[in-house]
Structure 1
Amino acid sequence: MADKGKHQGTEACGRVSDGITQVFGLLGKRWTGVIVASLMAGPVHFADLRRSISGISERMLSDRLVELGAAGLVLREVDEGPPLRVAYRLTEAGAALEPALTELGRWAEKCLLKGEGTC
């Protein structure tokens, strides 16, 4: 007789949707969610964005911004200057992440930041 505490097999675990797989494939990368959250308030110049995210390198920030641009979430805008400056802003699709990121932030404050790992 099988123990009820044992794993139930694949029937007990549903298949993860393609959408969730894609979301976490992109936003689950280190720094990506933080970058999107930093751009929620509006366009930000590269140097200001770099300063606002403690611990991120210029190279990593640049790479993640390129990925977010390719995914259609961020636009790169060049201010002709002088001096020449580059700013980034969220597209409509990127800005549509705000409710989800807000809820994730609330969940983290409630469940992770207390240090207990429980809600």
Structure 2
Amino acid sequence: MMEGQVDLCPEVEKTFELIGKRWTGLIIYVLSSGPKRFSEINSLIPDLSKRVLTERMKELEEHGIVLRQVIPERPIRTVYLLTKKGSELGKILGPISQWASCWMKEK
């Protein structure tokens, strides 16, 4: 490998593709504070449509990042929470949030 060249393995590319999708990082960030109902996630990210949220949640479930848990009380509730894999990814988003607060201030 030449000096200054970055080695992009398929796993790195796949990860950046996943978290680079619009809203995915924010969904993981919101869930890093604990389990949330669909409506809570939707209200915490106001510009996110329910259709896109549904798509992203299914994708995150398929990748083993989010777990959909049905709580069998009356009325039946469904919550979404990060898996261990998702929690590890969520830890990375905290420093990104700090960077954003410092460097992406509105002008």
TM range (shorter): 0.7 to 0.9
Tell me what 1:86 maps to.
Answer: 78
Gaps of 5+ in 1: 1-10
Gaps of 5+ in 2: none
Equivalent residue pairs, number:
106
**1:46 aligned residue (27, 30, 38):** 38
Over alpha carbons, which structure has the higher Rg? 1
**1:66 aligned residue (39, 58, 63):** 58
What fraction of aligned residue pairs are identical, expressed as a percent? 33
RMSD (Å), alpha carbons: 1.9
2:19 is aligned with 1:27: yes
Higher relative contact order (CA 8 A, sep 6+): 2
Question: Secondary structure of 1:75's match?
Answer: strand
Give the TM-score normalised by the residue count of structure 1.
Answer: 0.78
Give the TM-score normalised by the residue count of structure 2.
Answer: 0.86
Question: Secondary structure of 1:43's match?
Answer: coil
The CA distance in 2 between the partners of 1:113 and 1:13, in whole Å, is 31
Question: Secondary structure of 1:44's match?
Answer: coil
What is the CA deviation profile of residues 67-116 of structure 1, one whole-angstrom value per residue up to 9, with x for unaligned ones? 0000001000112333222110000110112331111112222222265x
The CA distance in 2 between the partners of 1:61 and 1:98, in whole Å, is 18
Question: Secondary structure of 1:97's match?
Answer: helix
Q: More helix per residue: 1 or 2?
A: 2
2:103 is aligned with 1:77: no
Letter in 2 for 1:99: K
